[in-house]
């Protein structure tokens, strides 16, 4: 029922880029009064960026935003979102750990002040907690930093629903149940239904499809920064939703490597149990294999890789192997922004070039040059700053760093984020070549078709391995079902 007088907020052609990455490429979205809207999509589909734009904490590059069918708001920001009665529960914790529950409530509600504000803030948050999560057991005077993560999330959600004078029109919940157990999650979903029946609106983002299917009235599916499907919830079921999310991924031809499965023999060179509890599945890595780690992002894959690399896990099999890591989050984990491309490449190998205590520049340059050609880094000069490269070429430099080292095992942390398709194909080829020469790879990827290059796949969910597939057994359905609940 598209009744246009009932719109709370409307987005028209909203685009947002971070450097070369297009997080949102033209989103039209309308949120109506009294509806619960579900948003699903793979990692990097643009959901979180969209939420930040609605919350006003990010500004769109182009496109317009209008409130209640009024004229588009110029420079829509935090103040405008607040005035429109829009509250957001972000994925990452947005509470101040050094403050109490009541004090955090006050931060969100500037109206709570003056004499006796503390007891009013306490009453506000406790009433809301009681309403949403009966039996929560949280004290208003508890410090947030002392609360377990689930209770923090409960406080944060309840805080978003407190409101003093501005009417609360829209509450955006980004993965609100990620650290809640089933019972508490159900309490929240029940409240969301009640809230929307009473005329409020809600946006729910969740990787738990059942939550979306049972709670919302309408679902949009996002992919590559665009809305690719939109239906009333009644016209989706679990399978059609999974299909809508996955079907868009283009399958490329796999060529000659498909179908061949390496037989696992002898001893694994590494075996790791991600959460170190007895009885859980163990990941085994055999020499010369490409092992894929799958699952939704943030489910323990990166942590497992980093721990393997920093030798924090008691790894079975052989003792310490020479390893290298290719970071996926380039800016945070990989790039040295003040250095040249060459230095960025040679950092993992510079110990090799030491002559009389000094790093030999010629050898260093040779290494970088040879990899520049091998992996095709597009730059006139390796002496240029690393930031002069495009994202994809920066990533190639990180690949060159790892592959150019003497490491026998290479760990890759979803390294193809924001890399163009041509580069990807080149790198895939290179990986196969290197593996054929005996190198071992552990490859965490969020892209389905990349898993097809792996000999063995482990699917992660909530820090555990929940599925163990050989290449022959691999299907997209299996991975999706394992990644979402109850695989």
Partner 1 sequence: MEGLLNPRLMRNLLPAFSLTILLILIFYIQPRTMSYLGLNLLLNLALPIAFATLAQMCVMTVNDLDLGIGSFVGFVACVGATFLRDTPAIGILILLGCVGVYAGLGALIHQRNLPSIVVTLGMSFVWLGLALLVLPTPGGKAPDWARAIMTWKTPMVPFTIYASIFVALAVHFLLMRSAYGVVLRGAGGNPRSVERAGWSLLRIKMAMYALAGFFGILSGIALIGLTTSADANIALRYTLLSIAGAILGGGEFVGGRISPIGAVIGATTLTLAGSFLSFLRISPDWQIGAQGGILIIVLALRVLINRMEAK
Partner 2 sequence: MNSAKPGLKHIMSAPWIWAYLAAFVVWLATVLFTGGQGSIQILSAALSFATFSVIVGIGQMYVITLGPGNVDLSIPATMTFAGAVSMKIMDTQDAMIVPGLLIAIGCGAAVGIFNYGLIRALRIPPIIATLSSSFLVQSAAIAYGRGIKIKPPPILADFTTWRIFDIPVLAICVIALAAVMSVVLHRTVFGRSVTAIGQNQRAAALAGIPVDFIRFATYVQSAVFAGLCGYLLSGFSGGASLNMGAEYLLASIAVVVIGGTSVAGGHSNVPGLWGAALFMFLLVTMLNTYGLTAGYRLILTGLIIVTVITLAGGRKQE
Q: Which residue ranges make up the site for partner 2 (CB under 8 A)?
A: 306, 309-310, 323-325, 327, 332-339, 343, 347-348, 350-351, 354, 357-359, 361, 401, 405
- Alpha-carbon distance 159 to 95, whole Å? 10
Cα–Cα–Cα angle for 163, 133, 466, rounded to 5 degrees:
120
Q: Looking at residues 101 to 140 of the shown chain, list those that interact with partner 1 (rule: CB under 8 A).
A: 103-104, 106-108, 110, 112-114, 117-118
Q: Which does 410 bind (CB under 5 to 8 A by kind): partner 2, partner 1, none?
A: none
Q: For residue 385, give the 3-state DSSP assignment.
A: strand
175 binds partner 1 (CB under 8 A): no
Q: How far is the CB of 275 from partner 1 (least distance, A)?
A: 18
- DSSP-assigned letter for residue 356: T
Taking only Cα atoms into account, the Rg of the chain, rounded to an integer number of angstroms, comes to 25
How many residues at the interface with partner 1, by CB under 8 A? Answer: 27
Q: Which two tokens stand for residue 433?
A: 């070549």
Q: How far is the CB of 453 from partner 2 (least distance, A)?
A: 23
Q: Which does 104 bind (CB under 5 to 8 A by kind): partner 1, partner 2, none?
A: partner 1
Q: How far is the CB of 123 from partner 2 (least distance, A)?
A: 35
Q: Which does 453 bind (CB under 5 to 8 A by kind): partner 2, partner 1, none?
A: none
Q: How many CA atoms lie within 13 A of 59 on its CB side?
A: 9
Instruction: Answer for the pair 256, 272: CB distance below 8 angstroms, yes or no.
Output: no
Q: How far is the CB of 338 from partner 2 (least distance, A)?
A: 5
98 binds partner 1 (CB under 8 A): yes
The DSSP result for 49-71, as a single string, is HHHHHHHTSS--SEEEEEETT-S
Torsions phi, psi of 473, nearest 5? Answer: -80, -10
Q: Looking at residues 356 to 385 of the shown chain, list those that interact with partner 1 (rule: CB under 8 A).
A: none
Q: Which does 325 bind (CB under 5 to 8 A by kind): partner 2, partner 1, none?
A: partner 2
Residue with smaller CB distance to partner 1, 108 or 188: 108
Residue with smaller CB distance to partner 2, 172 or 327: 327
Q: How distant is the alpha carbon of residue 66 from its chain centre?
A: 28
The DSSP result for 202-261, as a single string, is EEEE-S-HHHHHHH-SEEEEEETTEEEEEEEGGG--HHHHHHHHHTTSPPPP-GGGTT--
Residue with smaller CB distance to partner 2, 255 or 351: 351
* Helices H / strands E in the chain, number of each: 15, 19
Q: Which does 1 bind (CB under 5 to 8 A by kind): partner 2, partner 1, none?
A: none
Residue with smaller CB distance to partner 2, 352 or 462: 352
Question: In the stretch 37-76, what mask flags binding to partner 1 with x, by CB under 8 A?
Answer: ------------------x-x-------------------
Q: How far is the CB of 48 from partner 1 (least distance, A)?
A: 14
Q: How far is the CB of 350 from partner 2 (least distance, A)?
A: 6
Q: Which two tokens stand for residue 153?
A: 């999330």
Q: Which two tokens stand for residue 455?
A: 């000999």
Beta strands in 277-403 (DSSP E): 283-285, 290-294, 323-326, 354-355, 358-359
The residues binding partner 1 (CB under 8 A) are 55, 57, 78-79, 82, 88, 90, 93-99, 103-104, 106-108, 110, 112-114, 117-118, 143, 146
């Amino acid at each position: 029922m598209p009744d246009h007088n009932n719109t709370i907020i409307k987005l028209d052609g909203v685009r947002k880029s971070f450097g070369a990455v297009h997080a949102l490429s033209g989103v039209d979205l309308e949120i109506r009064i009294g509806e619960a809207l579900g948003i699903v999509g793979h990692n990097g589909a643009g959901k979180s960026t969209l939420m930040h734009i609605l919350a006003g904490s990010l500004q769109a590059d182009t496109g317009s935003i209008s409130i209640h069918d009024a004229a588009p708001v110029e420079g829509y920001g935090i103040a405008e979102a607040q005035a429109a009665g829009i509250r957001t529960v972000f994925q990452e914790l947005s509470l101040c750990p050094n403050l109490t529950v009541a004090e955090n409530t006050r931060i969100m509600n500037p109206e709570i002040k003056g004499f006796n504000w503390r007891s009013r803030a306490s009453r506000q948050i406790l009433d809301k907690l009681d309403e949403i999560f009966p039996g929560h057991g949280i004290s208003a005077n508890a410090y947030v930093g002392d609360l377990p993560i689930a209770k923090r999330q409960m406080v944060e959600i309840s805080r978003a629903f407190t409101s003093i004078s501005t009417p609360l029109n829209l509450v955006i919940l980004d993965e609100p149940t990620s650290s809640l157990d089933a019972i508490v999650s159900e309490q929240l979903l029940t409240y969301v239904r009640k809230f929307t029946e009473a005329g409020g609106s809600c946006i729910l983002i969740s990787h738990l499809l059942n939550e979306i299917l049972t709670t919302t009235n309408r679902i949009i599916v996002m992919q590559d920064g665009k809305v690719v499907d939109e239906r009333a919830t009644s016209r989706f079921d679990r399978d059609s939703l999974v299909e809508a999310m996955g079907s868009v991924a283009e399958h490329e031809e796999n060529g000659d490597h498909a179908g061949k499965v390496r037989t696992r023999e002898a001893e694994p060179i590494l075996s790791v149990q991600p959460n170190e509890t007895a009885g859980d599945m163990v990941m085994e890595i055999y020499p010369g294999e490409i092992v894929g780690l799958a699952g939704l992002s943030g489910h323990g894959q990166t942590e497992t890789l980093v721990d393997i690399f920093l030798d924090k896990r008691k790894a079975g099999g052989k003792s310490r192997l020479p390893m290298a890591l290719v970071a996926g989050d380039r800016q945070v984990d990989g790039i040295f922004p003040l250095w040249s491309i060459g230095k960025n490449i040679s950092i993992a190998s510079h110990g090799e070039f030491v002559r009389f205590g000094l790093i030999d520049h010629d050898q260093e340059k040779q290494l970088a040059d040879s990899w520049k050609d091998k992996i095709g880094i597009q730059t006139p000069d390796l002496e240029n700053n690393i930031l002069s490269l495009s994202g994809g070429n920066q990533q190639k430099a990180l690949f060159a760093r790892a592959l150019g080292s003497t490491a026998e095992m290479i760990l890759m942390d979803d390294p193809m984020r924001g890399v163009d398709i041509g580069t990807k194909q080149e790198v895939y080829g290179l990986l196969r070549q290197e593996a054929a020469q005996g190198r071992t790879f552990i490859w965490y990827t969020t892209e389905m078709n990349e898993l097809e290059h792996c000999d063995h796949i482990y699917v992660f969910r909530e820090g555990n391995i929940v599925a163990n597939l050989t290449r022959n057994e691999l299907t997209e359905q299996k991975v999706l079902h394992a990644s979402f609940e109850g695989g």
